[in-house]
Amino acid sequence: MTNVMDTMNSAYNVREARSFLRFRTIAVGLTVAIGILIIIALTIVLYGNGIANSVGSFVGLSGVATWTWKIVQWPVAVFFLLLSFALIYYFGPDVEFPVWHWISPGSVAGVFLWAVVSFGLRIYLHFFNSYSKTYGSLGAVMILLLWFYVTGVAILIGGEVNAEIENAAAKHGAPEAKEKGEKKPGTKPEPRAA
């Protein structure tokens, strides 16, 4: 998460000025929050039908509850993913007065890219999985690290989309938007160290 936050600073072209303790606290907080949100989203997708059947049979609405849940589970899971991306885009870069967006173009692009790449990785592993034969039990760890890598790339591309949109809005005169390099709206960009 610290690397994601550093790269978000690069997307906004700002230097990190938060203290070491504050920076690490934000990174740990984001890691825990996103972990919880991802676990909730996965639980909804993987075990939602069973939970809906149990609750529906207990209440007496098994057919209605099951069909309702099958329709609602995917938007709810996507909401939790969008919320996790929004948290990263709000707390990650070191800018003052960030604007909270439940859904931003960057989070939509990031979640869409993450879903496509995750699905593509799944298809690749289904047809060409020779990691276990080559690396033994470390093959699963390598696959997980590859998935973490593509997840990070999706998050960073979404952050770059948000940064470019905010930069364009600032150049067109939006009062709350910041140009690249600005920590506050309407201030001069700070010189970036090489």
Structure tokens at 193: 């160290």
pLDDT digits (tens, 9 = 90+) for 21-68: 999 999 999 999 999 998 998 888 888 777 777 777 777 776 776 777
Nearest residue to 20 (alpha-carbon basis) of 5, 35, 39: 5
- The 8-class DSSP code of residue 66 comes to H
Q: How many residues does the chain have?
A: 194
pLDDT digits (tens, 9 = 90+) for 124-158: 888 877 777 777 778 778 888 888 898 889 999 99
| Confidence at 194, pLDDT banded by 50, 70, 90 | very low
Q: Does residue 106 carry a pLDDT above 70?
A: yes
